[in-house]
């Protein structure tokens, strides 16, 4: 059974970071994602692009056509694919797609129902829109980075999850699906401007709401969700590994105290922030008396709101993850499974990332090119037909 997006065709102008992640989400859910790759060439000078492009996991589920988009014949080939597509996704700086001849006006003149998704860090407009940047810079501008990490150290980068993926790729996926749903009613596509600065700010909605009510301090490690509170954080165990505690609600907190044998009346002042440093210090000493496995045996599966802090290598083997199939293995590579789950149109792990140009001939034929014309484009270096993956 194909996934819930089996009806959707997406053109992806190849890039790195959040755009490919959004396309992975769509491919995971059954969409046909056609990745328009550059012609194969020598490694780029920067290195990061080569490291992240055609990633075996994030780029799974694609079909690949390799095109010289500096050649008008290559641009025309892409536009002929756009003619029958539902969504196009690009992650260039503002104006680059237009210079290539693949901007939204050109594409939507040929396909009025096309949803044109644009993924950038700063957005299509604004004084920083043309500046270079990375995840860390975008979340810095949103207020999110300032809130993360210990109070006595610089803000801690949360990998590139908040900007690139949560505030970027997922935001773009939601945006293009919303625009596609609207196009089914109106018959008209539209441009979706997904900016990581906007997305990271959106992810901070709860914190801004708490601050508006006077329940959130605008400084690190001063609040109940940022590591200050003793009942919400991580603790080192006797074996040097860690556990996480999230006993916010009073009934969960009381169970934590009961199961850990804590009868100190000072712990009844759960929400007295002035007591948090002392109470945390006491919990730190307590958790160092047993190994992580010992604490799992005592607390896991209870309403304490507990989980061991697992490494990336440990996580796939945990019984809960194994039972749900949260991780899967394909071609010897362990990777997260498609999510969320659907009971009638379940998503399945799509094929691994294709080699660049693996589907060039088939996709040109799909766009209406005759065999002789396809071979002529290959011979002229306008397109590259790679070997099938």
The pTM of the full predicted model, rounded to 2 decimals, is: 0.94
Same domain, 89 and 163: yes
257 in Cβ contact with 267 (< 8 Å): yes
Same domain, 42 and 180: yes
Q: Could you say which residues of the chain have pLDDT below 50?
A: 389
Residue (of 354, 350, 380, 368) closest to 36 by Cα position: 354
Same domain, 195 and 237: no
Same domain, 138 and 268: no
Q: Which residues have CB under 8 Å from 209's CB, separation 6+? A: none
User: Domain span at residue 285?
Assistant: 232-309
Type and span of the H or E element at 87:
strand 87-90
Cα end-to-end span (Å), the chain: 23
| 250-259 and 292-299 helices, crossing angle to 10° | 120
Same domain, 302 and 352: no
Same domain, 57 and 153: yes
Phi, psi of 386 (to 5 degrees): -80, 175
The residue from 59, 135, 164, 226 that is catalytic is 164
134 is catalytic: yes
pLDDT of residue 41: 79
pLDDT digits (tens, 9 = 90+) for 278-303: 999 999 999 999 999 999 999 999 99
Whether 4 maps to a domain, the answer reads no
pLDDT of residue 93: 96
352 in Cβ contact with 28 (< 8 Å): no
pLDDT of residue 389: 43
Helix (H, G, I), strand (E, B) or coil at 267: helix
Same domain, 92 and 122: yes
Same domain, 291 and 157: no
The residue from 134, 146, 293, 303 that is catalytic is 134
Same domain, 239 and 182: no
Whether 246 maps to a domain, the answer reads yes
């Amino acid at each position: 059974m194909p996934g819930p997006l089996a009806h959707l065709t997406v053109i992806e102008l190849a890039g790195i970071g959040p755009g490919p992640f959004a396309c992975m989400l769509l491919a995971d859910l059954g969409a046909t994602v056609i990745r328009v790759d550059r012609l194969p060439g020598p490694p780029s000078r920067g290195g990061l692009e080569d490291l992240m492009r055609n990633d075996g996991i994030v780029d799974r589920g694609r079909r690949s056509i390799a095109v010289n988009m500096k050649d008008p014949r290559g641009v025309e080939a892409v536009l002929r694919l756009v003619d029958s597509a539902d969504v196009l996704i690009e992650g260039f700086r503002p104006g680059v797609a237009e210079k290539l001849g693949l901007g939204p006006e050109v594409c939507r003149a040929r396909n009025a129902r096309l949803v044109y998704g644009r993924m950038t860090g700063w957005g299509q407009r604004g004084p920083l829109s043309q500046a270079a940047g990375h995840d860390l810079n975008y979340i810095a501008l949103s207020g999110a980075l300032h809130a993360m990490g210990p109070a006595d150290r610089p803000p801690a980068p949360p990998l590139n999850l908040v900007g690139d993926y949560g505030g970027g790729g997922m935001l773009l996926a939601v945006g293009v699906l919303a625009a596609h749903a609207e196009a089914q009613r109106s018959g008209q596509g539209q441009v979706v401007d997904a900016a990581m600065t906007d997305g990271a700010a959106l992810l901070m909605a709860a914190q801004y709401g708490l601050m508006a009510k006077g329940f959130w301090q605008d400084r690190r490690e001063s609040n109940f969700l940022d590591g200050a509170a003793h009942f919400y954080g991580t603790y080192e165990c006797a074996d040097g590994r860690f556990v996480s505690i999230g006993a916010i609600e009073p009934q969960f907190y009381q169970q934590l105290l009961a199961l850990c044998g804590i009868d100190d009346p000072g712990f009844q002042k759960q929400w007295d922030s002035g007591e948090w440093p002392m109470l945390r210090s006491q919990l730190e000493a307590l958790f160092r008396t047993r190994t992580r496995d010992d604490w799992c045996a005592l607390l896991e599966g209870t309403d304490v709101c507990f989980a061991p802090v697992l490494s990336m290598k440990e996580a796939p083997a945990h019984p809960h993850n194994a039972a749900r199939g949260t991780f899967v293995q394909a071609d010897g590579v362990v990777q997260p499974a498609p999510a969320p789950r659907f009971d009638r149109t379940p998503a399945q792990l799509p094929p691994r990332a294709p080699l660049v140009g693996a589907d060039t001939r088939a996709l040109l034929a799909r766009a209406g090119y005759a065999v002789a014309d396809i071979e002529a484009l290959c011979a002229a270096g306008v397109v590259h037909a790679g070997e099938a993956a």
